[in-house]
Structure 1
Protein backbone atom coordinates (compact mmCIF):
# COMPACT_ATOMS: atom_id res chain seq x y z
CA UNK A 1 0.00 0.00 0.00
CA UNK A 2 1.32 3.41 -1.05
CA UNK A 3 0.72 5.38 2.15
CA UNK A 4 1.20 8.78 0.51
CA UNK A 5 -1.35 8.02 -2.22
CA UNK A 6 -3.78 6.69 0.38
CA UNK A 7 -3.36 9.87 2.45
CA UNK A 8 -4.12 11.99 -0.60
CA UNK A 9 -7.18 9.87 -1.38
CA UNK A 10 -8.40 9.98 2.23
CA UNK A 11 -8.11 13.77 2.32
CA UNK A 12 -10.09 14.05 -0.91
CA UNK A 13 -12.82 11.75 0.42
CA UNK A 14 -13.16 13.81 3.58
CA UNK A 15 -13.12 17.16 1.78
CA UNK A 16 -15.60 16.05 -0.88
CA UNK A 17 -17.78 14.22 1.63
CA UNK A 18 -18.30 11.36 -0.76
CA UNK A 19 -16.44 8.36 -2.11
CA UNK A 20 -18.09 8.84 -5.50
CA UNK A 21 -17.12 12.51 -5.85
CA UNK A 22 -13.56 11.83 -4.62
CA UNK A 23 -13.24 8.92 -7.04
CA UNK A 24 -14.36 11.14 -9.91
CA UNK A 25 -11.75 13.78 -8.98
CA UNK A 26 -9.00 11.17 -8.77
CA UNK A 27 -10.03 9.28 -11.89
CA UNK A 28 -10.54 5.95 -10.12
CA UNK A 29 -13.54 3.86 -9.12
CA UNK A 30 -15.39 4.32 -5.81
CA UNK A 31 -14.86 0.62 -5.14
CA UNK A 32 -11.09 1.07 -5.37
CA UNK A 33 -11.18 3.96 -2.89
CA UNK A 34 -13.33 1.91 -0.56
CA UNK A 35 -10.83 -0.95 -0.63
CA UNK A 36 -7.92 1.44 -0.03
CA UNK A 37 -9.60 2.96 3.02
CA UNK A 38 -10.47 -0.51 4.36
CA UNK A 39 -6.82 -1.58 4.01
CA UNK A 40 -5.74 1.62 5.76
CA UNK A 41 -8.15 1.02 8.63
CA UNK A 42 -7.00 -2.59 8.93
CA UNK A 43 -3.36 -1.48 9.08
CA UNK A 44 -4.19 1.05 11.81
CA UNK A 45 -6.49 -1.28 13.71
CA UNK A 46 -9.28 1.28 13.95
CA UNK A 47 -12.23 2.72 12.04
CA UNK A 48 -11.67 6.11 10.40
CA UNK A 49 -14.98 6.63 8.61
CA UNK A 50 -18.49 5.57 9.54
CA UNK A 51 -20.69 5.12 6.52
CA UNK A 52 -24.37 4.61 5.92
CA UNK A 53 -26.29 4.60 2.67
CA UNK A 54 -26.99 8.32 3.11
CA UNK A 55 -24.09 9.80 5.06
CA UNK A 56 -20.43 9.55 5.98
CA UNK A 57 -18.67 10.91 9.06
CA UNK A 58 -15.24 10.88 10.65
CA UNK A 59 -14.56 9.00 13.85
CA UNK A 60 -12.25 10.62 16.41
CA UNK A 61 -9.39 8.54 15.01
CA UNK A 62 -10.39 9.55 11.50
CA UNK A 63 -10.41 13.25 12.41
CA UNK A 64 -6.93 12.92 13.95
CA UNK A 65 -5.66 11.05 10.90
CA UNK A 66 -7.13 13.68 8.58
CA UNK A 67 -5.56 16.58 10.49
CA UNK A 68 -2.14 14.92 10.61
CA UNK A 69 -2.44 13.99 6.95
CA UNK A 70 -2.89 17.65 6.03
CA UNK A 71 0.40 18.55 7.70
CA UNK A 72 2.27 15.65 6.12
CA UNK A 73 1.00 16.36 2.60
CA UNK A 74 1.74 20.07 2.97
CA UNK A 75 5.30 19.29 4.07
CA UNK A 76 5.77 16.92 1.13
CA UNK A 77 4.47 19.59 -1.24
CA UNK A 78 6.88 22.17 0.16
CA UNK A 79 9.83 19.81 -0.29
CA UNK A 80 8.82 19.07 -3.88
CA UNK A 81 8.42 22.79 -4.63
CA UNK A 82 11.86 23.58 -3.23
CA UNK A 83 13.40 20.81 -5.33
CA UNK A 84 11.61 22.02 -8.48
CA UNK A 85 12.68 25.61 -7.85
CA UNK A 86 16.29 24.56 -7.31
CA UNK A 87 16.44 22.04 -10.14
CA UNK A 88 17.46 24.68 -12.66
CA UNK A 89 19.83 26.55 -10.36
CA UNK A 90 23.56 25.92 -10.63
CA UNK A 91 24.43 25.59 -6.98
CA UNK A 92 25.50 22.95 -4.51
CA UNK A 93 28.63 20.78 -4.50
CA UNK A 94 29.93 19.50 -7.85
CA UNK A 95 32.40 16.61 -7.67
CA UNK A 96 34.43 15.97 -10.84
CA UNK A 97 36.96 13.26 -11.62
CA UNK A 98 39.43 13.31 -14.54
CA UNK A 99 42.85 12.02 -15.52
CA UNK A 100 45.82 14.07 -14.32
CA UNK A 101 46.91 15.20 -17.78
CA UNK A 102 43.44 16.15 -19.01
CA UNK A 103 42.61 17.79 -15.70
CA UNK A 104 45.75 19.91 -15.68
CA UNK A 105 45.91 20.87 -19.35
CA UNK A 106 42.23 21.22 -20.29
CA UNK A 107 39.96 21.45 -17.25
CA UNK A 108 42.12 23.57 -14.94
CA UNK A 109 42.66 26.47 -17.41
CA UNK A 110 38.88 26.66 -17.96
CA UNK A 111 37.88 26.52 -14.30
CA UNK A 112 38.17 30.25 -13.54
CA UNK A 113 35.59 31.16 -16.17
CA UNK A 114 33.28 28.38 -14.98
CA UNK A 115 33.52 29.40 -11.32
CA UNK A 116 33.00 33.07 -12.16
CA UNK A 117 29.86 32.17 -14.11
CA UNK A 118 28.45 30.15 -11.18
CA UNK A 119 29.58 31.79 -7.91
CA UNK A 120 27.14 29.77 -5.76
CA UNK A 121 28.81 26.51 -6.74
CA UNK A 122 31.25 24.48 -4.66
CA UNK A 123 33.69 22.36 -6.66
CA UNK A 124 35.91 19.38 -5.96
CA UNK A 125 38.20 18.31 -8.82
CA UNK A 126 39.90 14.96 -8.29
CA UNK A 127 42.61 13.97 -10.76
CA UNK A 128 43.55 10.32 -10.99
CA UNK A 129 44.96 8.35 -13.91
CA UNK A 130 43.17 5.22 -12.73
CA UNK A 131 39.55 4.52 -13.65
CA UNK A 132 37.70 5.14 -10.41
CA UNK A 133 34.35 3.87 -9.22
CA UNK A 134 32.13 6.93 -9.61
CA UNK A 135 29.44 5.80 -7.21
CA UNK A 136 31.87 4.69 -4.52
CA UNK A 137 33.90 7.89 -4.95
CA UNK A 138 30.81 10.06 -4.79
CA UNK A 139 31.51 11.82 -8.11
CA UNK A 140 28.82 13.62 -10.10
CA UNK A 141 30.73 13.40 -13.38
CA UNK A 142 33.89 11.69 -14.59
CA UNK A 143 35.79 12.70 -17.74
CA UNK A 144 37.15 9.60 -19.46
CA UNK A 145 39.12 9.19 -22.67
CA UNK A 146 38.40 5.92 -24.43
CA UNK A 147 38.03 4.47 -27.91
CA UNK A 148 34.56 3.40 -26.74
CA UNK A 149 32.73 3.13 -23.45
CA UNK A 150 31.69 -0.37 -22.37
CA UNK A 151 28.03 -1.05 -21.63
CA UNK A 152 27.32 -0.39 -17.99
CA UNK A 153 24.91 1.30 -15.64
CA UNK A 154 26.83 4.53 -16.25
CA UNK A 155 25.75 7.06 -18.86
CA UNK A 156 28.46 8.34 -21.22
CA UNK A 157 28.02 11.52 -23.26
CA UNK A 158 30.55 12.18 -26.02
CA UNK A 159 31.89 15.74 -25.74
CA UNK A 160 34.95 15.66 -27.99
CA UNK A 161 37.51 13.71 -30.00
CA UNK A 162 41.27 13.51 -29.51
CA UNK A 163 43.98 13.41 -32.15
CA UNK A 164 47.01 11.23 -31.34
CA UNK A 165 50.35 11.55 -33.14
CA UNK A 166 53.99 10.58 -32.76
CA UNK A 167 56.50 13.11 -31.38
CA UNK A 168 60.15 13.51 -30.51
CA UNK A 169 62.48 16.37 -29.61
CA UNK A 170 64.57 17.87 -32.44
CA UNK A 171 67.80 17.01 -30.64
CA UNK A 172 66.80 13.34 -30.30
CA UNK A 173 66.09 13.15 -34.02
CA UNK A 174 69.42 14.86 -34.81
CA UNK A 175 71.22 12.15 -32.84
CA UNK A 176 69.13 9.07 -33.69
CA UNK A 177 67.84 10.04 -37.13
CA UNK A 178 64.30 10.79 -38.26
CA UNK A 179 62.16 7.77 -39.23
CA UNK A 180 60.87 7.97 -42.78
CA UNK A 181 58.64 4.88 -42.65
CA UNK A 182 56.58 3.40 -39.79
CA UNK A 183 58.73 0.26 -39.62
CA UNK A 184 61.77 2.36 -38.71
CA UNK A 185 60.16 3.27 -35.37
CA UNK A 186 61.00 -0.22 -34.10
CA UNK A 187 64.74 0.57 -34.08
CA UNK A 188 64.22 3.70 -31.97
CA UNK A 189 63.92 4.20 -28.25
CA UNK A 190 60.18 4.26 -27.66
CA UNK A 191 58.60 5.67 -24.52
CA UNK A 192 55.27 3.98 -23.84
CA UNK A 193 52.15 5.20 -22.07
CA UNK A 194 51.14 2.41 -19.71
CA UNK A 195 47.42 3.27 -19.61
CA UNK A 196 46.99 3.48 -23.38
CA UNK A 197 45.45 0.77 -25.52
CA UNK A 198 48.51 1.06 -27.79
CA UNK A 199 51.29 0.51 -25.24
CA UNK A 200 52.93 -2.30 -27.25
CA UNK A 201 50.91 -2.18 -30.49
CA UNK A 202 50.75 0.98 -32.55
CA UNK A 203 48.16 0.90 -35.31
CA UNK A 204 49.05 3.77 -37.60
CA UNK A 205 46.93 5.04 -40.45
CA UNK A 206 48.60 7.00 -43.24
CA UNK A 207 49.04 7.38 -46.99
CA UNK A 208 49.82 3.69 -47.44
CA UNK A 209 46.91 2.49 -45.31
CA UNK A 210 47.06 0.92 -41.86
CA UNK A 211 50.33 -0.35 -40.36
CA UNK A 212 50.65 -2.15 -37.02
CA UNK A 213 53.93 -1.98 -35.11
CA UNK A 214 54.73 -4.46 -32.33
CA UNK A 215 56.88 -2.65 -29.77
CA UNK A 216 58.53 -3.30 -26.44
CA UNK A 217 59.08 0.17 -24.94
CA UNK A 218 62.10 0.16 -22.58
CA UNK A 219 60.61 3.13 -20.72
CA UNK A 220 56.96 3.10 -19.70
CA UNK A 221 55.13 5.77 -17.73
CA UNK A 222 51.59 6.09 -16.42
CA UNK A 223 51.15 9.81 -16.96
CA UNK A 224 51.20 11.55 -20.34
CA UNK A 225 52.64 14.75 -18.85
CA UNK A 226 55.66 12.78 -17.67
CA UNK A 227 55.87 11.20 -21.10
CA UNK A 228 55.79 14.66 -22.68
CA UNK A 229 58.62 15.88 -20.44
CA UNK A 230 60.76 12.83 -21.25
CA UNK A 231 60.25 13.43 -24.96
CA UNK A 232 61.18 17.11 -24.59
CA UNK A 233 64.32 15.99 -22.74
CA UNK A 234 65.34 13.97 -25.81
CA UNK A 235 64.80 10.53 -24.28
CA UNK A 236 63.04 8.95 -27.26
CA UNK A 237 59.93 8.77 -29.43
CA UNK A 238 56.37 8.51 -28.14
CA UNK A 239 52.73 9.24 -28.83
CA UNK A 240 50.84 12.16 -27.32
CA UNK A 241 47.24 13.38 -27.45
CA UNK A 242 46.74 16.82 -28.95
CA UNK A 243 45.80 18.46 -25.67
CA UNK A 244 49.25 17.53 -24.31
CA UNK A 245 51.31 18.05 -27.48
CA UNK A 246 49.84 21.38 -28.59
CA UNK A 247 51.98 23.76 -26.56
CA UNK A 248 55.39 22.02 -26.84
CA UNK A 249 54.82 21.60 -30.57
CA UNK A 250 54.01 25.31 -30.92
CA UNK A 251 57.23 26.19 -29.05
CA UNK A 252 59.29 23.83 -31.18
CA UNK A 253 60.21 21.65 -28.19
CA UNK A 254 58.62 18.68 -29.96
CA UNK A 255 58.13 17.93 -33.64
CA UNK A 256 55.81 15.39 -35.28
CA UNK A 257 57.40 12.16 -36.43
CA UNK A 258 55.84 10.63 -39.53
CA UNK A 259 53.37 13.57 -39.64
CA UNK A 260 51.20 11.84 -42.25
CA UNK A 261 50.44 8.98 -39.82
CA UNK A 262 48.11 9.02 -36.83
CA UNK A 263 46.89 6.58 -34.22
CA UNK A 264 43.15 5.89 -33.71
CA UNK A 265 41.33 8.90 -32.28
CA UNK A 266 39.77 8.19 -28.86
CA UNK A 267 36.68 10.00 -27.69
CA UNK A 268 36.22 12.24 -24.66
CA UNK A 269 33.23 11.15 -22.58
CA UNK A 270 31.46 12.89 -19.72
CA UNK A 271 30.23 10.00 -17.61
CA UNK A 272 27.42 10.27 -15.07
CA UNK A 273 25.82 7.65 -12.88
CA UNK A 274 22.14 8.43 -13.55
CA UNK A 275 20.01 7.52 -16.54
CA UNK A 276 17.33 9.96 -15.37
CA UNK A 277 19.19 13.00 -16.64
CA UNK A 278 21.66 15.26 -14.90
CA UNK A 279 21.04 18.20 -12.63
CA UNK A 280 21.82 21.82 -13.45
CA UNK A 281 25.35 21.94 -12.07
CA UNK A 282 26.44 18.82 -13.97
CA UNK A 283 24.83 20.06 -17.19
CA UNK A 284 26.52 23.45 -16.80
CA UNK A 285 29.94 21.84 -16.31
CA UNK A 286 29.56 19.49 -19.27
CA UNK A 287 28.45 22.29 -21.59
CA UNK A 288 31.26 24.57 -20.40
CA UNK A 289 33.81 21.85 -21.08
CA UNK A 290 32.24 20.97 -24.44
CA UNK A 291 32.51 24.62 -25.51
CA UNK A 292 36.16 24.77 -24.37
CA UNK A 293 36.95 21.67 -26.44
CA UNK A 294 35.32 23.20 -29.51
CA UNK A 295 37.46 26.32 -29.08
Structure 2
Protein backbone atom coordinates (compact mmCIF):
# COMPACT_ATOMS: atom_id res chain seq x y z
CA UNK A 1 0.00 0.00 0.00
CA UNK A 2 1.35 3.41 -1.02
CA UNK A 3 0.75 5.32 2.20
CA UNK A 4 1.14 8.77 0.64
CA UNK A 5 -1.39 7.98 -2.13
CA UNK A 6 -3.83 6.55 0.41
CA UNK A 7 -3.46 9.65 2.58
CA UNK A 8 -4.26 11.81 -0.45
CA UNK A 9 -7.25 9.63 -1.32
CA UNK A 10 -8.59 9.71 2.25
CA UNK A 11 -8.24 13.49 2.35
CA UNK A 12 -10.09 13.86 -0.94
CA UNK A 13 -12.94 11.61 0.29
CA UNK A 14 -13.36 13.65 3.46
CA UNK A 15 -13.22 17.01 1.68
CA UNK A 16 -15.58 15.92 -1.12
CA UNK A 17 -17.90 14.10 1.28
CA UNK A 18 -18.33 11.21 -1.13
CA UNK A 19 -16.41 8.20 -2.40
CA UNK A 20 -17.92 8.69 -5.86
CA UNK A 21 -16.92 12.35 -6.18
CA UNK A 22 -13.43 11.67 -4.78
CA UNK A 23 -12.98 8.73 -7.18
CA UNK A 24 -13.97 10.95 -10.10
CA UNK A 25 -11.44 13.59 -9.07
CA UNK A 26 -8.68 10.99 -8.71
CA UNK A 27 -9.55 9.13 -11.92
CA UNK A 28 -10.17 5.77 -10.25
CA UNK A 29 -13.25 3.66 -9.54
CA UNK A 30 -15.23 4.07 -6.30
CA UNK A 31 -14.76 0.35 -5.67
CA UNK A 32 -10.97 0.68 -5.80
CA UNK A 33 -11.09 3.67 -3.48
CA UNK A 34 -13.29 1.76 -1.04
CA UNK A 35 -10.86 -1.19 -1.01
CA UNK A 36 -7.89 1.11 -0.31
CA UNK A 37 -9.65 2.76 2.64
CA UNK A 38 -10.64 -0.65 3.99
CA UNK A 39 -7.01 -1.80 3.80
CA UNK A 40 -5.93 1.39 5.54
CA UNK A 41 -8.42 0.82 8.35
CA UNK A 42 -7.28 -2.79 8.72
CA UNK A 43 -3.65 -1.71 8.92
CA UNK A 44 -4.55 0.83 11.64
CA UNK A 45 -6.90 -1.55 13.46
CA UNK A 46 -9.72 0.97 13.67
CA UNK A 47 -12.57 2.52 11.69
CA UNK A 48 -11.94 5.93 10.15
CA UNK A 49 -15.21 6.47 8.28
CA UNK A 50 -18.74 5.40 9.08
CA UNK A 51 -20.96 5.04 6.05
CA UNK A 52 -24.68 4.58 5.46
CA UNK A 53 -26.61 4.71 2.24
CA UNK A 54 -27.32 8.38 2.89
CA UNK A 55 -24.35 9.81 4.77
CA UNK A 56 -20.68 9.46 5.65
CA UNK A 57 -18.96 10.76 8.76
CA UNK A 58 -15.57 10.69 10.44
CA UNK A 59 -14.93 8.73 13.60
CA UNK A 60 -12.68 10.30 16.26
CA UNK A 61 -9.79 8.25 14.88
CA UNK A 62 -10.74 9.39 11.38
CA UNK A 63 -10.71 13.06 12.43
CA UNK A 64 -7.28 12.62 14.03
CA UNK A 65 -5.96 10.84 10.93
CA UNK A 66 -7.37 13.54 8.64
CA UNK A 67 -5.91 16.41 10.67
CA UNK A 68 -2.44 14.87 11.04
CA UNK A 69 -2.07 13.56 7.48
CA UNK A 70 -3.30 16.85 6.04
CA UNK A 71 -0.35 18.52 7.71
CA UNK A 72 1.99 15.90 6.26
CA UNK A 73 0.57 16.29 2.76
CA UNK A 74 0.79 20.10 2.96
CA UNK A 75 4.43 19.84 4.06
CA UNK A 76 5.28 17.48 1.19
CA UNK A 77 3.54 19.80 -1.28
CA UNK A 78 5.44 22.78 0.12
CA UNK A 79 8.82 21.02 -0.16
CA UNK A 80 8.11 19.97 -3.75
CA UNK A 81 7.07 23.51 -4.70
CA UNK A 82 10.20 24.99 -3.12
CA UNK A 83 12.42 22.50 -4.95
CA UNK A 84 10.70 23.19 -8.28
CA UNK A 85 11.03 26.94 -7.73
CA UNK A 86 14.69 26.52 -6.84
CA UNK A 87 15.69 24.52 -9.93
CA UNK A 88 18.11 26.67 -11.91
CA UNK A 89 18.67 29.11 -9.02
CA UNK A 90 22.22 29.20 -7.65
CA UNK A 91 21.73 29.32 -3.90
CA UNK A 92 22.02 27.10 -0.87
CA UNK A 93 25.18 25.54 0.57
CA UNK A 94 27.79 24.19 -1.86
CA UNK A 95 30.39 21.81 -0.38
CA UNK A 96 33.45 21.13 -2.53
CA UNK A 97 36.41 18.84 -1.92
CA UNK A 98 39.68 18.87 -3.86
CA UNK A 99 43.41 18.37 -3.42
CA UNK A 100 45.47 21.06 -1.71
CA UNK A 101 47.58 21.93 -4.76
CA UNK A 102 44.66 22.06 -7.19
CA UNK A 103 42.59 23.98 -4.67
CA UNK A 104 45.25 26.60 -4.05
CA UNK A 105 46.47 27.06 -7.62
CA UNK A 106 43.25 26.66 -9.66
CA UNK A 107 40.16 26.84 -7.45
CA UNK A 108 41.19 29.63 -5.05
CA UNK A 109 41.94 32.21 -7.80
CA UNK A 110 38.50 31.67 -9.38
CA UNK A 111 36.54 31.89 -6.12
CA UNK A 112 36.22 35.71 -5.89
CA UNK A 113 34.57 35.92 -9.32
CA UNK A 114 32.38 32.89 -8.62
CA UNK A 115 31.17 34.24 -5.27
CA UNK A 116 30.61 37.71 -6.71
CA UNK A 117 28.41 36.16 -9.41
CA UNK A 118 26.37 34.19 -6.84
CA UNK A 119 26.01 36.27 -3.67
CA UNK A 120 23.22 34.06 -2.23
CA UNK A 121 25.46 31.00 -2.18
CA UNK A 122 27.19 29.57 0.89
CA UNK A 123 30.46 27.74 0.15
CA UNK A 124 32.58 25.23 2.03
CA UNK A 125 35.86 24.32 0.31
CA UNK A 126 37.76 21.37 1.80
CA UNK A 127 41.36 20.73 0.72
CA UNK A 128 42.63 17.20 1.24
CA UNK A 129 45.37 15.39 -0.65
CA UNK A 130 43.87 11.99 0.11
CA UNK A 131 40.65 10.69 -1.43
CA UNK A 132 37.82 11.26 1.02
CA UNK A 133 34.41 9.61 1.26
CA UNK A 134 32.40 12.41 -0.33
CA UNK A 135 29.05 10.92 0.68
CA UNK A 136 30.07 10.61 4.32
CA UNK A 137 31.58 14.10 4.19
CA UNK A 138 28.42 15.53 2.67
CA UNK A 139 30.20 16.98 -0.36
CA UNK A 140 28.23 18.05 -3.44
CA UNK A 141 31.24 17.65 -5.73
CA UNK A 142 34.78 16.36 -5.41
CA UNK A 143 37.52 17.25 -7.91
CA UNK A 144 39.85 14.30 -8.45
CA UNK A 145 42.86 13.94 -10.72
CA UNK A 146 43.34 10.34 -11.83
CA UNK A 147 44.36 8.37 -14.95
CA UNK A 148 40.84 6.89 -14.80
CA UNK A 149 37.97 6.62 -12.33
CA UNK A 150 37.03 3.15 -11.07
CA UNK A 151 33.46 1.96 -11.44
CA UNK A 152 31.41 2.93 -8.41
CA UNK A 153 28.09 4.37 -7.36
CA UNK A 154 29.60 7.83 -7.82
CA UNK A 155 29.28 9.75 -11.08
CA UNK A 156 32.50 11.09 -12.63
CA UNK A 157 32.48 13.73 -15.35
CA UNK A 158 35.74 14.60 -17.15
CA UNK A 159 36.35 18.36 -17.13
CA UNK A 160 39.99 18.58 -18.19
CA UNK A 161 43.37 16.94 -18.73
CA UNK A 162 46.64 17.51 -16.84
CA UNK A 163 50.10 17.52 -18.45
CA UNK A 164 52.66 15.85 -16.21
CA UNK A 165 56.27 16.87 -16.94
CA UNK A 166 59.76 16.73 -15.41
CA UNK A 167 61.33 19.82 -13.81
CA UNK A 168 64.39 21.06 -11.96
CA UNK A 169 65.87 24.40 -10.98
CA UNK A 170 68.48 25.98 -13.30
CA UNK A 171 70.97 26.03 -10.44
CA UNK A 172 70.55 22.29 -9.82
CA UNK A 173 71.07 21.44 -13.50
CA UNK A 174 74.09 23.74 -13.70
CA UNK A 175 75.62 21.83 -10.78
CA UNK A 176 74.52 18.24 -11.51
CA UNK A 177 74.26 18.39 -15.29
CA UNK A 178 71.12 18.22 -17.44
CA UNK A 179 69.92 14.72 -18.39
CA UNK A 180 70.02 14.11 -22.13
CA UNK A 181 68.21 10.75 -22.20
CA UNK A 182 65.64 9.13 -19.89
CA UNK A 183 68.31 6.75 -18.55
CA UNK A 184 70.32 9.76 -17.36
CA UNK A 185 67.56 10.48 -14.82
CA UNK A 186 68.77 7.51 -12.74
CA UNK A 187 71.96 9.41 -11.85
CA UNK A 188 70.05 12.28 -10.28
CA UNK A 189 68.45 13.00 -6.94
CA UNK A 190 64.73 12.38 -7.37
CA UNK A 191 62.00 14.04 -5.34
CA UNK A 192 58.90 11.86 -5.48
CA UNK A 193 55.21 12.65 -5.01
CA UNK A 194 54.10 10.28 -2.28
CA UNK A 195 50.48 9.93 -3.47
CA UNK A 196 51.21 9.53 -7.18
CA UNK A 197 50.87 6.32 -9.16
CA UNK A 198 54.34 7.03 -10.53
CA UNK A 199 56.17 7.42 -7.21
CA UNK A 200 58.77 4.72 -8.00
CA UNK A 201 58.15 4.10 -11.71
CA UNK A 202 58.11 6.76 -14.42
CA UNK A 203 56.55 5.61 -17.69
CA UNK A 204 57.79 8.26 -20.11
CA UNK A 205 56.76 8.75 -23.71
CA UNK A 206 58.61 10.89 -26.21
CA UNK A 207 59.98 11.13 -29.75
CA UNK A 208 61.87 7.85 -29.46
CA UNK A 209 58.93 5.86 -28.12
CA UNK A 210 58.55 4.98 -24.46
CA UNK A 211 60.87 4.41 -21.53
CA UNK A 212 60.16 3.11 -18.03
CA UNK A 213 62.38 4.15 -15.15
CA UNK A 214 62.32 2.27 -11.85
CA UNK A 215 63.35 4.77 -9.19
CA UNK A 216 63.82 4.99 -5.44
CA UNK A 217 63.33 8.67 -4.53
CA UNK A 218 65.30 9.57 -1.40
CA UNK A 219 62.86 12.41 -0.72
CA UNK A 220 59.12 11.77 -0.89
CA UNK A 221 56.44 14.35 -0.12
CA UNK A 222 52.66 14.13 -0.09
CA UNK A 223 51.94 17.59 -1.49
CA UNK A 224 52.92 18.82 -4.93
CA UNK A 225 53.31 22.42 -3.71
CA UNK A 226 55.97 21.26 -1.27
CA UNK A 227 57.56 19.25 -4.08
CA UNK A 228 57.57 22.37 -6.28
CA UNK A 229 59.28 24.43 -3.59
CA UNK A 230 61.96 21.77 -3.05
CA UNK A 231 62.65 21.72 -6.78
CA UNK A 232 62.88 25.51 -6.89
CA UNK A 233 65.34 25.34 -3.98
CA UNK A 234 67.57 23.08 -6.10
CA UNK A 235 67.12 19.79 -4.23
CA UNK A 236 66.70 17.57 -7.28
CA UNK A 237 64.48 16.52 -10.19
CA UNK A 238 60.78 15.73 -9.99
CA UNK A 239 57.50 15.67 -11.86
CA UNK A 240 54.82 18.35 -11.58
CA UNK A 241 51.33 18.81 -13.03
CA UNK A 242 50.96 21.81 -15.32
CA UNK A 243 48.71 23.75 -12.93
CA UNK A 244 51.55 23.72 -10.39
CA UNK A 245 54.51 24.15 -12.77
CA UNK A 246 53.06 26.92 -14.97
CA UNK A 247 54.06 29.93 -12.85
CA UNK A 248 57.59 28.88 -11.80
CA UNK A 249 58.34 27.76 -15.37
CA UNK A 250 57.10 31.09 -16.77
CA UNK A 251 59.32 33.02 -14.35
CA UNK A 252 62.35 30.82 -15.00
CA UNK A 253 62.56 29.39 -11.47
CA UNK A 254 62.05 25.91 -12.95
CA UNK A 255 62.94 24.52 -16.36
CA UNK A 256 61.82 21.44 -18.22
CA UNK A 257 64.06 18.41 -18.01
CA UNK A 258 63.94 16.26 -21.17
CA UNK A 259 61.35 18.66 -22.66
CA UNK A 260 60.30 16.17 -25.35
CA UNK A 261 59.34 13.55 -22.75
CA UNK A 262 56.22 13.40 -20.55
CA UNK A 263 54.43 11.08 -18.19
CA UNK A 264 50.90 9.85 -19.02
CA UNK A 265 48.37 12.68 -18.76
CA UNK A 266 45.82 12.13 -15.97
CA UNK A 267 42.28 13.45 -16.25
CA UNK A 268 40.46 15.95 -14.06
CA UNK A 269 37.12 14.53 -12.92
CA UNK A 270 34.19 16.23 -11.21
CA UNK A 271 32.67 13.52 -9.02
CA UNK A 272 29.11 13.72 -7.70
CA UNK A 273 27.05 11.25 -5.73
CA UNK A 274 23.83 11.46 -7.74
CA UNK A 275 22.97 9.98 -11.11
CA UNK A 276 19.97 12.30 -11.39
CA UNK A 277 22.02 15.21 -12.69
CA UNK A 278 23.70 18.16 -11.05
CA UNK A 279 21.84 21.00 -9.39
CA UNK A 280 22.32 24.65 -10.30
CA UNK A 281 25.03 25.43 -7.75
CA UNK A 282 27.24 22.50 -8.83
CA UNK A 283 26.71 23.33 -12.52
CA UNK A 284 27.66 26.98 -11.91
CA UNK A 285 30.78 25.99 -9.98
CA UNK A 286 31.95 23.60 -12.69
CA UNK A 287 31.30 26.21 -15.41
CA UNK A 288 33.60 28.63 -13.59
CA UNK A 289 36.16 25.86 -13.03
CA UNK A 290 36.19 24.92 -16.73
CA UNK A 291 36.76 28.56 -17.62
CA UNK A 292 39.66 28.72 -15.14
CA UNK A 293 41.20 25.59 -16.66
CA UNK A 294 40.93 27.03 -20.18
CA UNK A 295 42.68 30.21 -19.12
How high is the TM-score relative to the length of structure 1?
A: 0.92
Aligned CA-pair RMSD:
2.0
Listed one character per residue, the Cα deviations across residues 182-210 of structure 1 (whole Å, up to 9, x for unaligned) are 11111111111111111111111111111
Check if 1:160 corresponds to 2:160. yes
Match of 1:41 in 2: 41
Structure 1 stretches (4+) deviating beyond 6 angstroms? none
**Mean alpha-carbon deviation: is it higher for 38-47 or for 263-272?**
38-47
Kept in 2: contact 1:189–1:237 (CA 8 A):
yes
Kept in 2: contact 1:232–1:254 (CA 8 A):
yes
Kept in 2: contact 1:143–1:269 (CA 8 A):
yes
Instruction: Give the aligned length.
Output: 294
Check if 1:128 corresponds to 2:128. yes
1:75 Cα offset (Å): 3.0
Task: Provide closer, same or farther for how the CA distance between residues 71 and 231 of structure 1 changes in structure 2, counting only shifts above 3 A.
Answer: closer
1:67 Cα offset (Å): 5.0
How far apart, in 2, do the equivalents of 1:26 and 1:109 lie? Answer: 55
How far apart, in 1, do the equivalents of 2:155 and 2:51 lie? Answer: 53
Kept in 1: contact 2:105–2:243 (CA 8 A):
yes
Listed one character per residue, the Cα deviations across residues 140-195 of structure 1 (whole Å, up to 9, x for unaligned) are 21111100111112111111110011111111111111111111111111111111
Describe the SS at the equivalent of 1:240: strand
How far apart, in 2, do the equivalents of 1:68 and 1:137 lie? Answer: 35
How high is the TM-score relative to the length of structure 2?
A: 0.92
1:281 Cα offset (Å): 1.6
Match of 2:58 in 1: 59
Match of 1:13 in 2: 13
Check if 1:182 corresponds to 2:182. yes
**Mean alpha-carbon deviation: is it higher for 265-274 or for 74-83?**
74-83
How far apart, in 1, do the equivalents of 2:269 and 2:73 lie? Answer: 41
How far apart, in 2, do the equivalents of 1:64 and 1:175 lie? Answer: 87
Listed one character per residue, the Cα deviations across residues 54-101 of structure 1 (whole Å, up to 9, x for unaligned) are 555123444554455444423321222122222332222222111111
Q: Which runs of 5+ in 1 are unaligned?
A: none
1:8 Cα offset (Å): 0.9
Q: After TM superposition, list the pairs within 5 Å mapping 1:116-265 onto structure 2.
A: 116-265=116-265
How far apart, in 2, do the equivalents of 1:186 and 1:87 lie? Answer: 56
